Amino acid sequence: MSDTSYYIQQYATLAGFRLLVLANRLGCTDEFSYALHDELIAGLEGVISMARSILSMTRELASDADPEGLISDHLRYEQERFAERAIILLDELEIDHDTHEYRVNGGEWHYALSADCDGVDISYPKTVRLTDAELGSLAPIIRDIRSETGVAINARRVVYD
């Protein structure tokens, strides 16, 4: 399958899943479920936009000369970003082991070090995957999106010990 065919297929598949999640959102009964659906819809829209951008650059390369290689370089960059794309539904945890700091959802950095007369303790929070019960009707949809498109979907929450 050519690159163009691959991105057309991804675009169509992701757009179909977006419609499925929008329809599934009608059955939400609580704010948590609404929030998960909204995050998944926004994430799918982002990936769809990336696929559309890649297709546009591919079309531009096919119709115009690119003597300086700017379009082809940007296209390769966008293709790499697309391949590594992940949708974060709830919490994202970043840990800097060199400085012993962490942050949640792009917020402020916090120190994981604490010291007292008993010594030094390093305590990072952990992420816990949401259960199928917590994901509700989104659980099978998320599995299908992962298996059919390869897009990673992170449905985790941060837990502090």
**Domain limits for position 42:** 3-86
CB 127 within 8 A of CB 161: no
Is 90 exceeded by the pLDDT of residue 61? no
Average pLDDT over residues 27-53: 95
Q: Bigger pLDDT: 105 or 147?
A: 147
**CA dist., res. 42 & res. 87, Å (int):** 9
Three-state secondary structure string covering the chain: CCHHHHHHHHHHHHHHHHHHHHHHHCCCCCHHHHHHHHHHHHHHHHHHHHHHHHHHHHHHHHHCCCCCCHHHHHHHHHHHHHHHCEEECCCCEEEECCCCEEEECCCCCEECEEEECCEEEECCCEEEECCHHHHCCHHHHHHHHHHHHCCEEECEEEECC
With respect to residue 57, please indicate whether it lies within any of the assigned structural domains.
yes
**CA dist., res. 133 & res. 68, Å (int):** 53
With respect to residue 138, please indicate whether it lies within any of the assigned structural domains.
no
Is 70 exceeded by the pLDDT of residue 52? yes
With respect to residue 71, please indicate whether it lies within any of the assigned structural domains.
yes
With respect to residue 75, please indicate whether it lies within any of the assigned structural domains.
yes
Give the count of domains, the chain. Answer: 1
Q: How confident is the model at residue 148, as a pLDDT? A: 96
81-125 tens-digit pLDDT: 999 999 999 888 899 989 889 899 889 998 887 777 777 788 889
Q: State pTM to two decimals.
A: 0.84
With respect to residue 10, please indicate whether it lies within any of the assigned structural domains.
yes
